[in-house]
Amino acid sequence: MRKIIPAILYLFVMPIAFSGETSDLVTDTITVKDSFVDSRIMKFPATVETYDKKQIEESVNAATAAQTLKYLPSIQVRERSIGDRNGIISSRTIGSISSAQSMLYADGVLLSNLLGNSFSYPPRWGMVNPEEIQRISMMYGPFSSLYSGNSMGGVINIETRMPERLEAHAGVQSFIQNFKLYGTDQTKIGNREFFSIGNKVNDFSFWASMNRLENTAQPLDFSVANVSAGSSSTAGNPSVTGAYQDKGISNQDRVIFGATAIDTSTQTNAKFKGQYEFLNQSKLAYTIGLWDLDSRQNVQSYIKDNDGNSIYGGYVNFNNKRYTPRMSPAQAEAFHVMQSIDFKSNDKGFFNWQMTLSDYDYSRDLSNRSNLETTSNANPSLTNPYITKTGQITDLSGTGWTVFDSRVTLRPKDHTIDLGYHIDYYHLRQTVNVSNDWMGSQKGTFNSLSSGNTKTHAVYVQDKWQISPEWALTAGGRQEHYEAYDGINQNTTNLARYDDRSRNTFSPKVSLSFEPIPAWGFRAAFGKAYRFPTVTELFQQLTLGTAPGPVTIVTNNPNLKPEEIYSAEITAERRFVNGLARASLFREDRYDALISQSNILSVGGQTSYVENVDHVRIYGIELATELKNVMIPKLDLVANATLTDSEILKNDAAPSYINKKVPRIPRQLYKAVATYRVSEDFTMSLAARYSGRQFINLENSDINPETYAGASRLLFVDAKVNYKFKDRWTASLGVDNIFNDQAYVSHPLSQRTGYAQIKFDY
């Protein structure tokens, strides 16, 4: 706390020197010469931060919607490369592979993929492109009755806009990254093209857009073996050279045979939104979004035999030890359809209502992977994955979810009362087939099946009572009924049918706000919530690869309990003429916490599973400030810091984990963005992001984090320049990670990346 208290004082006092206010130091009062910025304390039951279209355009190098969040307080998106489909949101209390512990909406339509709680189920970022974003808002914690317990990490809403007249926008963007690690030295150029058009004719408005993104990522994984796992029996195995050696996350000696998961993908999304406004100011809107994926994950072998042939698998002799490297390429193709209907009235009168129905469908979703044959000789045809056609095809077609929300809002004197009903339905449909031609997507014999459903009904009430101009109380509760049913796992020899189960829960919420003077605001909030197990945590089982090569196993658990969350926050907000500063103390106690873990298998590879951890505590402080005209005119500053401590307090299943840190939550997170407006047509921005120490494993055994498979500290410095060089034409140049910091969060993150964009606005 010695370091925290001075930081708070500095954050709150520093802006006064540049705010244009005058102070009476004798009486310790502030005389207000101008209006303060608007209060955010009274408006919301918890902390809310926003980033608008102008800030995004001026300061963020963004090729995807996920990148637009990078400077929000406490938020990190696990987008390992541009266009990464595993972009999980992490916040001050949740880690970077906990996809079901935060919620993402676009215009009230749920984009979070709550089918699972892992890197395989990220939000559907492809349904939004950066140019259509009007504003991003983040509410931290499970403090609103309007949202389920999945909001424990926060609720993000992306707001897009409808046109008031004919307008059109088009642009092209290129990005380039040079990546060097082990035996990989590659320079790849990606590109994006986007177009949108909208108009309003009488009471009907529409917006249509198309976005195409093509990129080749750096290697996201590597073929690795611990030296201790090598066998001394090398007779008949070909000798290889070219492997690299370093220390692993537990400081163990290891060997790197090659790079894998070098993803080259093309993603195309098309979107249409039509809206009709009735005479009574109600609005009916229909949205359809289409997302198409064509992906190929290549591999690069570092090792060669004595004849100079590249070796991708089989038994090999390296430094007089036998290993089994495995470098299997893969490909994926998908076509997803999102639709929504939204009917609402919002004239801010006594009575308003809203109904939203949305559906997300995996119309087509295939993931194909080669199976390398294991052999003791050096025949390249048996160890080259591009010659070997045998493989495995995982089909998720038919998987998806449907969500319905309805709400009425009443505004009697001094009250705003929300009454609502919610239902969601998630369904998993997964089949795995052996393939004799994995590149041709030819399905062969049946291998396995996983299927199941979850459903949640909820009713809620929330009342914001303006007790007086200085005091406001928001209180509410959410009653939920959860069901998991028709769970099945089947393979070629066994069939498992799981018992149906249900659970009823009640989650109270309360928030008290106090604003004694216009310059200050205070709020205390408490919320209880339940996060129910997802359909894949309960029912999905998946095996990739075959022994003796590396095997990846996803193991389900039909007996998981829901997470029970108790969350609290105390916030102070200091407002100035030119901005504000905020400090929030937060604490979360999580019982039966659902945490995903991975164990290394003796044959190489890993098994992934989810377990209930009895009691986890996470607490810390979040500081944020946003100021305009800082020290000099036209210079704006956004800065924030998050200091977090987490601890496992009870874990009867594994007592040795007690007092360990919760995985994937950094202890420190700092961000700052400075934007200088040279003129109305010319802006320059400089930003920095720092993430501190965090752990990958529940047992905190990763004592060497600055390497592949670890979670390293990172410091990325970014810059962007915008210039409107002609009427309707804007050019942008930018660089992320200017100083080329090599960082890891299990996978290597992008190294220095340059951006160039030109855009036309009509």
| CATH number for the domain that contains residue 364 | 2.40.170.20
Q: What is the pLDDT of residue 654?
A: 85
Residue 1 pLDDT more than 60?
no
Inside any domain, residue 283: yes
* Mean pLDDT, range 260-279, rounded to an integer: 95
* Mean pLDDT, range 593-610, rounded to an integer: 64
Smallest Cα–Cα separation from 530: which of 608, 456, 453?
456
Residue 425 pLDDT more than 90?
yes
* Mean pLDDT, range 268-273, rounded to an integer: 95
Smallest Cα–Cα separation from 476: which of 415, 563, 405?
415
Q: What is the pLDDT of residue 21?
A: 36
The dihedral region occupied by 647, where left means phi > 0, alpha psi between -120 and 50, and beta the remainder, is beta
Residue 550 pLDDT more than 90?
no
Residue 541 pLDDT more than 80?
yes
Q: What is the pLDDT of residue 388?
A: 73
Question: Which pLDDT band holds residue 6 (cuts at 50, 70, 90)?
Answer: very low
Measure CA 545 to chain center: 27
Question: Which pLDDT band holds residue 552 (cuts at 50, 70, 90)?
Answer: low
Inside any domain, residue 447: yes
Residue 723 pLDDT more than 70?
yes
Inside any domain, residue 384: yes
3-state helix, strand, coil in the chain (%, to 5): 10, 55, 35
Between 609 and 603, whose confidence is greater? 609
Question: Which pLDDT band holds residue 607 (cuts at 50, 70, 90)?
Answer: low
Inside any domain, residue 192: yes
Longest dimension (CA), the chain: 89
pLDDT in tens, 519-530: 999 999 999 999
> How many other CB atoms are there within 10 angstroms of residue 556's CB atom?
24
The whole-angstrom separation of Cα 73 and Cα 47 is 11
The domain of 70 spans: 4-165+175-761
Specify the range with the lowest mean pLDDT, choosing from 96-100, 323-327, 369-373. Answer: 369-373
Residue 749 pLDDT more than 80?
yes
Q: What is the pLDDT of residue 382?
A: 52
DSSP state of 241: B
Q: What is the pLDDT of residue 33?
A: 40
Q: What is the pLDDT of residue 387?
A: 73
Q: What is the pLDDT of residue 22?
A: 28
**Do 616 and 594 contact (CB within 8 A), yes or no?**
no
**Do 710 and 742 contact (CB within 8 A), yes or no?**
no
pLDDT in tens, 213-244: 999 999 999 999 999 988 887 777 889 999 99
Specify the range with the lowest mean pLDDT, choosing from 143-157, 387-401, 453-467, 639-653. Answer: 387-401
Q: What is the pLDDT of residue 373?
A: 54
pLDDT in tens, 33-65: 457 788 889 999 999 999 999 999 999 999 999
Whole-prediction pTM value?
Answer: 0.90
Specify the range with the lowest mean pLDDT, choosing from 453-457, 487-491, 641-645, 714-718. Answer: 487-491
Smallest Cα–Cα separation from 672: which of 139, 2, 70, 61?
70
Number of structural domains the chain divides into = 1
Inside any domain, residue 112: yes
Helix (H, G, I), strand (E, B) or coil at 99: helix
Residue 549 pLDDT more than 50?
no
Q: What is the pLDDT of residue 16?
A: 35
The whole-angstrom separation of Cα 608 and Cα 457 is 30
Inside any domain, residue 170: no
The whole-angstrom separation of Cα 537 and Cα 706 is 30
pLDDT in tens, 693-713: 999 988 899 999 999 999 999
pLDDT in tens, 91-122: 999 998 899 999 999 998 999 999 999 888 99
Residue 544 pLDDT more than 70?
no
Specify the range with the lowest mean pLDDT, choosing from 364-378, 682-696, 744-758. Answer: 364-378
Residue by residue, DSSP assigns 414-479 as TEEEEEEEEEEEEEEEEEEEEESBGGGTB--SEEEEEEEEEEEEEEEEEEEE--SSSEEEEEEEEE
